[in-house]
Amino acid sequence: MNSAKPPAYIIENLTKVYKTRTVLDVNYLEVRAGEILAIVGPSGSGKSTLLRLLNFLEPPSSGQITYGQEVFGPERSVSLAARRSVTTVSQRPILLDRSVRANVEFGLRLRGQRDRDGQVRDALQRVGLAALEGQHARTLSGGEAQRVALARALVVHPGALLLDEPTANLDPYNVGVIEESIRALNSERGTTMVLVTHNIFQARRLADRVALILDGKIVEQAETEAFFEKPADSRSKAFIRGEMVY
């Protein structure tokens, strides 16, 4: 990792309140350029909410996110260009009611890009689905659909890719394919990634750094090695030992 580069994201005093409930409350968190940052934490702790804010899909209730030159806050939105340089593979991907090809092509069409064929093929090859280009998306298996969702996100060459449980409910084969694409993308393109996962083994396999979130608060963030070997917070220890109910 190149520590001379400025961070991709700087998150400061960020909160998200739904009705009266504060579901996210992050004092400070950086996402370094080019790293894979894993966010782990129990169900309902605010992981998906954090990703929605990092993708500028909802405004925060207070605080701010600095992304490159731009600042995102309760009353400040970011440019379309900034928004288009971030994309999410969601926890429950929903593909368009079209062919696999049309799904992968979608982000390129939105950006008015021509000559999409090669890029679509490359993206599908990365997830090992080149053969399914012509199939209708709604007929895919769960694992295939998840991989198409990854392909349609990476085809736009995002600067930051947000992955929300990209392998939840998948068999080991599909988990392997997806993890391999994530790793390759990160090393070849230097894509910054935030990976939300329940699976601490996956965090350990893929991430440069790990952050633990509990009740909307980041209780520990550290290099992966240190996070697992020498957790500073007792709650991190409990989480790693699997004592936390989720």
Partner 1 sequence: MLDLLKSALGNSDLAEIVWLSLRVSGIALVFATVVGIPIGSALGLGRFVGRRLLVALMYTGMGFPPVVIGLFVYLLLSRSGPLGGLNSPLVPNLFTPGAMVLAQSIIAFPLVAGFTMAAVMGVDAGLRQQVRSLGATDWQTTVTVLLEAKVGVIVAVIAGFGGIISEVGAVMLVGGNIEGRTRVLTTAIVLETRQGNFEMALALGAILLAITFVVNVLMLRLQGKAFTE
Ligand X SMILES: Nc1ncnc2c1ncn2[C@@H]1O[C@H](COP(=O)(O)OP(=O)(O)OP(=O)(O)O)[C@@H](O)[C@H]1O
Candidates 36, 38, 45, 236: give the one binding ligand X (CB under 6 A).
Answer: 45
Provide Rg for the chain, Cα atoms. Answer: 18
Cα(134)–Cα(234) distance, integer angstroms = 51
How many residues bind to ligand X according to rule CB under 6 A? 11
Stretch that binds partner 1, among 15-23, 30-38, 76-84, 201-209 (CB under 8 A): 76-84
> Using CB under 8 A, which residues numbered 149 to 178 contact partner 1?
152-153, 156
Q: 49 or 103, CB closer to ligand X?
A: 49
DSSP 77: P
- As measured in angstroms, the least distance from the Cβ of 61 to ligand X is 12
Return the bridge partners of 213, or none. Answer: 218
238 binds, options ligand X, Mg ion, partner 1, none, Cβ within 5 to 8 A by partner type: none
Give whole-number Cα distances, 220 to 34, 62, 151, 162, 224, in Å: 21, 22, 32, 20, 11
Give me the 77-106 binding string for partner 1, x by CB under 8 A, dash otherwise: ---x--xx-xxx-x-xxx-xx--------x
| DSSP secondary structure string for all residues of 121-165 | HHHHHHTT-GGGTTSBGGGS-HHHHHHHHHHHHHTT--SEEEEES
- Specify whether the CB–CB gap between 59 and 72 falls below 8 A: yes
49 binds, options ligand X, partner 1, Mg ion, none, Cβ within 5 to 8 A by partner type: ligand X
Phi, psi of 99 (to 5 degrees): -75, 165
- As measured in angstroms, the least distance from the Cβ of 97 to partner 1 is 6
44 binds, options Mg ion, partner 1, ligand X, none, Cβ within 5 to 8 A by partner type: ligand X
Q: Which of 48, 131, 128 is nearest to 92 (CA)?
A: 48
DSSP 76: B
Give me the 24-43 binding string for ligand X, x by CB under 6 A, dash otherwise: -----------------x-x
- As measured in angstroms, the least distance from the Cβ of 107 to partner 1 is 4
Which residues, other chains included, contact 197 with Cβ-Cβ below 8 Å and sequence gap of 6+?
38, 39, 40, 165, 166, 167, 203
Helix axes 100-110, 142-154, angle to 10 degrees: 20
Q: 90 or 221, CB closer to partner 1?
A: 90
34 binds, options ligand X, partner 1, Mg ion, none, Cβ within 5 to 8 A by partner type: none
Q: 82 or 130, CB closer to partner 1?
A: 82
Applying CB under 8 A, the residues found at the interface with partner 1 are 52, 55, 57, 80, 83-84, 86-88, 90, 92-94, 96-97, 106-107, 110-111, 136, 138-139, 152-153, 156
Binding stretches for ligand X (CB under 6 A): 18, 23, 41, 43-49, 91
